[in-house]
Amino acid sequence: MLATVRSTTLSLTMGTLSLCAVSVTGCPQQEPPKPAEPAAAPVAAPPPASPTIDPARLAVFGTPLPQHYDSKDNPPSDEKIALGRQLYYDKRLSKNQDLSCNSCHDLANYGVDGKKFSLGHKKQLGGRNSPSVYQAAGHIAQFWDGRAKDVEEQAGGPMTNPVEMALPDPKRAELVLQSIPGYVDAFKKAFPADKQPVTIKNATAAIGAFERRLVTPSRFDKFLAGEVGALNDVEKAGLLKFLDTGCVACHSGTLLGGSTYQKVGAVKPWPNPIDLGRAALTKNDADKFIFKVPSLRNVARTAPYFHDGSVEKLPDAVKLMASHQLGRDLADADAQSIATFLDSLTGDIPKEFIQEPQLPPNGKATPKPDPT
């Protein structure tokens, strides 16, 4: 009997549990989970403000590049410029007839050959890096030590330099030119008032007249002229860094250099103190390690850098200058920022103007190449 009651009670209990499992009413329930709140949309960060440059700070650069650098002492003419262009490319003005002005100052390569030191007669190496010929006519003087007053005087130097084009003397250059009938006619047209127009003086005048047209305007010139959008924000930031660092102490004016002489290693001694700079020319100890400040026009395309061609990368050159000239240690990011601005100085090469011209053929008396 007791067993029967217990069994019945258990059955009732199990029945109640079973009803709970299937009944919706009368049994406790969990509330369904609330839907998740939608995530708040991220607030977009405002775009960085475009660098603002006070126009008054740009006055240090002067005006945009001129179209050319004509000289009152060497007035141009179409005939003179055309003749100068031919002479610039003519290898017969070298002893072995294997070098021209363009060999070291390649006009298709921003006026340089890209070498630490250029190869001259019999593969001899020069002692200084060959600077660009573009805008050279606007410099205070020519060569790193300023030993030539203008591009006309500079043009005659390499012809008779024994390490460069190696002609024995200017008379040999005249002899070569007088032996080529096409040049005799071209000199007459370029210098019609001269009784004897084929001279080394007129040859260098013609080359100079041509070089005074070698100008490469860039986006930076548009910026100087008031076109604010000519430089992008990254380049403007680099320009501000260039100004704030103090680079304009030497690299000012339209050419960003080329107008003064400065001591290399003004604050910290230069790591390669072999070249005495102007002192080798003047024999004055006060001129030791003083060189003409190079223009920064096209600098991003004219490596290697400095008179000794010792640096290959532009940011490295920037850091070296900041350290040795200004006593400032630039972070890599700051040096790269300045280098980015400097690339905006890369100009447009006048491709049609500098296209290699057809040269007049030899005459019967034209000297042969001399490799000795």
Residue located via tokens 């210098």:
191
* Residues in CB range of 115: below 8 A, 6 or more apart: 129, 130, 304, 309
User: For 23-27, 76-80, 81-85, 286-290, which range has the lowest pLDDT when averaged over its residues?
Assistant: 23-27
**Position 66 pLDDT exceeds 60:** yes
Q: What is the pLDDT of residue 4?
A: 40
pLDDT given at position 46: 63
Residue 11: the pLDDT is: 39
The two three-digit tokens of residue 102, written as one number: 């363009």
- What pLDDT sits at residue 287? 97
Mean pLDDT of the chain: 91
- Compute the distance between CA of residue 221 and CA of residue 51 in angstroms, rounded to an integer: 18
* Residue 50 confidence (pLDDT): 83
The DSSP letter of residue 98 is -
What's the confidence (pLDDT) of residue 121?
A: 98
CA distance 37 to 15: 42
The count of other CB atoms within 10 Å of the CB of residue 238 is 25
DSSP3 helix / strand / coil % (the chain, rounded to 5): 45, 5, 55
Place of tokens 């475009």: 50
Return residue ranges of the chain for CATH 1.10.760.10: 78-215, 217-343
152 catalytic residue (yes or no): no
77 neighbors 212 (Cβ within 8 angstroms) = no
Q: What is the pLDDT of residues 290-334, one digit of tens each?
A: 999 999 999 999 999 999 999 999 999 999 999 999 999 999 999
Band the pLDDT of 32: cuts 50, 70, 90: low
Residue-wise pLDDT tens digits, 129-175: 999 999 999 999 999 999 999 999 999 999 999 999 999 999 999 99
Percent of the chain with pLDDT over 70: 87
Whether the per-residue pLDDT at 235 is higher than 80: the answer is yes
So what's the pLDDT on residue 30? 57
Which residue bears the tokens 């010139």? Answer: 221
In the structure, what pLDDT confidence band is assigned to residue 340 with cuts at 50, 70 and 90?
A: very high
Tokens of residue 150, six digits: 């203008």
pLDDT tops 80 at residue 260: yes
Helix (H, G, I), strand (E, B) or coil at 70: coil
Q: Which letter, b or e, does each residue of 135-148 get, where b requires 16 or more Cβ atoms within 10 Å of its Cβ?
A: bbbbbbbbbbbbbe
- Catalytic residue of the set 152, 153, 164, 227: 164
What CATH fold (topology level) applies to the domain 78-215? Answer: Cytochrome Bc1 Complex; Chain D, domain 2 (1.10.760)
Provide the CATH topology of domain 217-343: Cytochrome Bc1 Complex; Chain D, domain 2 (1.10.760)
Q: What is the mean pLDDT of residues 267-285?
A: 96
Question: What average pLDDT does range 81-97 have in this prediction?
Answer: 98
Question: What is the per-residue pLDDT across 101-131, written as a single tens digit (0 to 9) for each?
Answer: 999 999 999 999 999 999 999 999 999 999 9
